[in-house]
Structure 1
């Protein structure tokens, strides 16, 4: 089955997919933005799983990803990844953001997941320029799902919380020669 990449405006926490991706912080203890919403709506089972990961490896480094239960959310799992904080592009931010997406996808495949929904990683309080982040996300996901390693993924959705990010993804998809535009 061919992989499909799409974007839409919505609330990541209500997506019915195998995994939603959480734009987490390195402590894995919840925070603001999408991370806070996931922890609040998903309940304490998520934090309990995060504490097990913290005890085992001390959290999650920037660019890496870990997986937990989704608690009370309709998704089956949460893939927590930590994106970089933008520092003008001088601290390997682009590669770290690419790694956050790539490691999330690799974790999904390793757990035999078929459907994954991503937020706009690092574009909130981490201040990564939104269009640069969208271009990196689309290219990384497109390259992965077109590879042998990513062939088992059936659907990857970028869930944009607001109209601004939706328009950015719409424009980025149009500009991308690797991705077929689909809007749900």
Structure 2
């Protein structure tokens, strides 16, 4: 693969993509790729239509509540979304996963379906390389999340929350500056 000849299967393999998933808001059931079903402790025989509550039982409790809320909101507004969550410890340990998708109405039937892709972020979360490099990567991720929060908080029309997010962004900026000075000005991402 070159930059001028992208290869979709290679791109998926390199992205830690676990495959597709779909949620039917009307029946509250999920269809999961085989790998995603395994990570959520859903038997392969029911992966094509497992109850949402069954899949959420394999997710850390506080993340499960948030993930369920994200799926319900997607069904209401149809906007693209992404949600990160942790699985409960299992045979493969705790995994960090990300669902990305959006809800759409089927033009033929009018039925709502939320669908997207799942990604495994576990390796990204594990310490790797030097301690300084890991701290730099963490600071870079914090900056990415702070930028996302600033964009999201604007729509809430909550000035006290916006000020807090601004304060967090400034502090993260200071941390990034310290890390960059410590690495001789090189940014490690």
What TM-score do you get using the length of structure 2 for normalisation? Answer: 0.29
What TM-score do you get using the length of structure 1 for normalisation? Answer: 0.29
Q: Larger % of helix: which?
A: 2
Please say which structure displays the higher CA radius of gyration. Answer: 2
